[in-house]
Structure 1
């Protein structure tokens, strides 16, 4: 990506410098160990900054080539990979999951108000589209509810050291759904099940399919399910302000140490992952992820080749819900606001910036990750922004709306 003068791209340089001050403040206040941000407009780099450390104990700096856990920012990549198969006519979005995974036949869903796992009624198998839009009836262990509690007890999280994808998908298929497919929105492991469908349809392991279809064509050599060989010295450690699990998104119990080490580079399961989690398993660098974001902004093309057609990408970045997320009665954590926010295939879509209560444009497409990473594409202003840090959970601080305000505050045209 070529670098351009901020002023020639409609930015005020002094106002852009506020971003560095904001990033420094997060590090000085011991909220983030370190972070980096990359901003492009019209395909040209306008701004980059990195501050703080990727490993506090070792005093290693957070740099441009730092390898980080992107967690749920894996989801747009998985969805993109699935859409390449849709473009080949190998399946359609209304196909039931049971067409590919026998464990999802004869499904049941918890009855409204269920207090026990056996209070169920028969229901249809969710569709591929419902997996992609988080309306399938699946959930996450950190969500409230009967199904989530059972997933937590059975440790159904698709973590990097939890075996292989096929086994975990079958394990999940034996449980009831949290609700009848299509009746609600709930953030879920649906994209992990989508990853398993990709394996079945393509006949290839998910890591191989990703490499051959997305990562290698885009020259994203630093992005994989395990830290790539030779990059271990650049892998960041993960921190949390919580006293308990860094994955407990509903916890309010913060400890005296706001940067407690929870997953250390050198002994992390992400260095030798066995699970290929399409919902949250990739690690990579900020430049690699910007390459993927830019491919979406360019309608599926990149300097090294085309991944999807422009019409498919436009279809993905539309709202696929009847209204906003809030109108579908969510009872779960999500990486983005719910009022004024719709959901496409792989990410959220701004329907009304005023209701989102964050500066932006109608049609902004975005998603984040558990370790507080974030990206968004603004199709109106032709912007691509990627933010990296390594602090879990992502709900700890309001960094995302703050960054959007800083970027919009620096735009003069």
Structure 2
């Protein structure tokens, strides 16, 4: 778990280390010209150049599936191909699922966005922030100037950490070990509430355990176990038949192995590390990670978002709630945003990054203004593009996070020169 949290805090989007496929230059266009051969070639290249053992991509556009492709192996040692029914660790692509669960309860009037978190989780009533150091260099602490709100928790402005790091608050987080797999969500919350914040609530964007706090809120507000709530109110209604945190052992042969890239070579991560959150022996159900799913299941979730909260006659959220979640919620005064701006020209909504401007240069991720998305520590990615009536899911199991794969799959879908419609 510590390895996972450390990896998350280090996520960045790098300039591609390998060139994109050669293409005939085209004039920037607002309309997507989907080229399935271009997508297939890019997936094959990802495997051939050693950035992934196996990959798959699924594209839904204009109300229908327009392309699925897979290349390489889910288990290289067993020569098992990456396939449509391959199960993968989606890591932080769990976060939007948790956000949808919490916003269902918001629609029911269970809380207001600007309510203090402590109204529902009293352990968070008095949070500390650092106030310099004493003569011996030890940190001094003072109460935060305002309470954490639920809005802060939804947009990563609460000030929580996500593992060890350079500050005294980071060190306190590591010592408290709230994400220990043997903690349940209640114990996670008790430990986290004793950890000082990295910054005053509402002042900085720090990717954090905030979504695990959202999961704890779902438990408190619904009176249900978090995983059971998601099963009943999201997975079952959407017919996401194999998505789960805690998987039955008979599905184990279909789980993709995770490969660690070191010095240009991929080596298999020990299986116990890949499986530790999903099979017997783990107690913690994280809101921020842990779902294992096949690509078709996750596309059903993405299609629901694309369709304004409804799929096949089943409504999960109201259209206005989806728009709220997919709208940039960061005040312009919030300048500290860690690595977020390396991913996109835009900001952050509720558990989604949100594009508010066109790509600013040829090395930037292609996409259309209005898209919203998130990714995972093993480099999985999905995005919803309302301007083009399109959703894309990209599965891979490469660590550490490799942003070049995201840059390239987007170029393959959109074309290297795509800019999309102009923003405001």
TM-score > 0.5 by shorter chain: yes
Aligned position for 1:119: 140
Cα deviation 1:21-46 (Å, max 9, x = unaligned): 22122212222111110011122111
The answer as to 2:400 corresponding to 1:370 is no
Aligned position for 2:368: 361
Q: Distance in 2 between matches of 1:120 and 1:43?
A: 54
Q: 1:77-96 to 2 correspondence within 5 Å?
A: 77-96=97-116
Aligned position for 2:291: 282
Q: Distance in 2 between matches of 1:117 and 1:227?
A: 45
Q: 1:256 to 1:42 in 2, by over 3 A?
A: closer
- Tell me if structure 2 keeps the 8 A contact 1:295–1:302: yes
Q: Distance in 2 between matches of 1:116 and 1:19?
A: 55
Report the more deviating stretch, 229-238 or 47-56: 229-238
Aligned position for 2:12: none
The answer as to 2:139 corresponding to 1:133 is no
Aligned position for 2:36: 16
Q: 1:238 to 1:339 in 2, by over 3 A?
A: closer
Q: Distance in 2 between matches of 1:90 and 1:139?
A: 27
RMSD of equivalent CA atoms:
2.6
Q: 1:266 to 1:154 in 2, by over 3 A?
A: closer
- Tell me if structure 2 keeps the 8 A contact 1:127–1:136: yes
Of 314, 324, 349, 1:344 maps to 349
Report the more deviating stretch, 313-322 or 136-145: 136-145
- Tell me if structure 2 keeps the 8 A contact 1:364–1:376: yes
Q: Which runs of 5+ in 1 are unaligned?
A: 1-9, 242-253
The structural deviation recorded for 1:264 is 4.9
TM-score (norm 1): 0.86
Q: Which runs of 5+ in 2 are unaligned?
A: 1-30
Q: Distance in 2 between matches of 1:311 and 1:112?
A: 43
Q: Distance in 2 between matches of 1:323 and 1:69?
A: 34
Aligned position for 1:402: 408
Q: 1:12 to 1:363 in 2, by over 3 A?
A: closer
Cα deviation 1:73-98 (Å, max 9, x = unaligned): 11111010001000000111111111
- Tell me if structure 1 keeps the 8 A contact 2:330–2:347: yes
Report the more deviating stretch, 228-237 or 30-39: 228-237
The answer as to 2:309 corresponding to 1:300 is yes
Q: Distance in 1 between matches of 2:172 and 2:46?
A: 36
- Tell me if structure 1 keeps the 8 A contact 2:131–2:139: no
Aligned position for 1:50: 70
The structural deviation recorded for 1:365 is 0.4
Cα deviation 1:249-276 (Å, max 9, x = unaligned): xxxxx34643342445996442233211
Cα deviation 1:263-321 (Å, max 9, x = unaligned): 45996442233211001121111111100010011001010510011111111111111
Question: Aligned to 1:312, what secondary structure does the other structure show?
Answer: helix
The structural deviation recorded for 1:392 is 1.9
Aligned position for 2:388: 381
Question: Aligned to 1:49, what secondary structure does the other structure show?
Answer: strand
Cα deviation 1:214-262 (Å, max 9, x = unaligned): 1101011111111245322111121212xxxxxxxxxxxx346433424
Cα deviation 1:185-228 (Å, max 9, x = unaligned): 11111010111011001000101100111110101111111124
The answer as to 2:397 corresponding to 1:390 is yes
Aligned position for 2:128: 108
Q: 1:339 to 1:216 in 2, by over 3 A?
A: closer
Q: 1:232-247 to 2 correspondence within 5 Å?
A: 232-241=252-261
Q: Distance in 1 between matches of 2:112 and 2:209?
A: 20
Cα deviation 1:304-341 (Å, max 9, x = unaligned): 510011111111111111239xx5213x455x636622
Q: Distance in 2 between matches of 1:268 and 1:90?
A: 33
Q: 1:282 to 1:113 in 2, by over 3 A?
A: farther
The structural deviation recorded for 1:12 is 5.7
Question: Aligned to 2:85, what secondary structure does the other structure show?
Answer: coil
Q: 1:350 to 1:165 in 2, by over 3 A?
A: same
- Tell me if structure 1 keeps the 8 A contact 2:162–2:209: yes
Q: Distance in 1 between matches of 2:408 and 2:265?
A: 23
Q: Distance in 2 between matches of 1:310 and 1:113?
A: 48
Of 185, 188, 209, 1:165 maps to 185
Aligned position for 1:145: 167
TM-score (norm 2): 0.84
Aligned position for 1:309: 318
Task: State the number of aligned residues.
Answer: 384
Aligned position for 2:212: 192
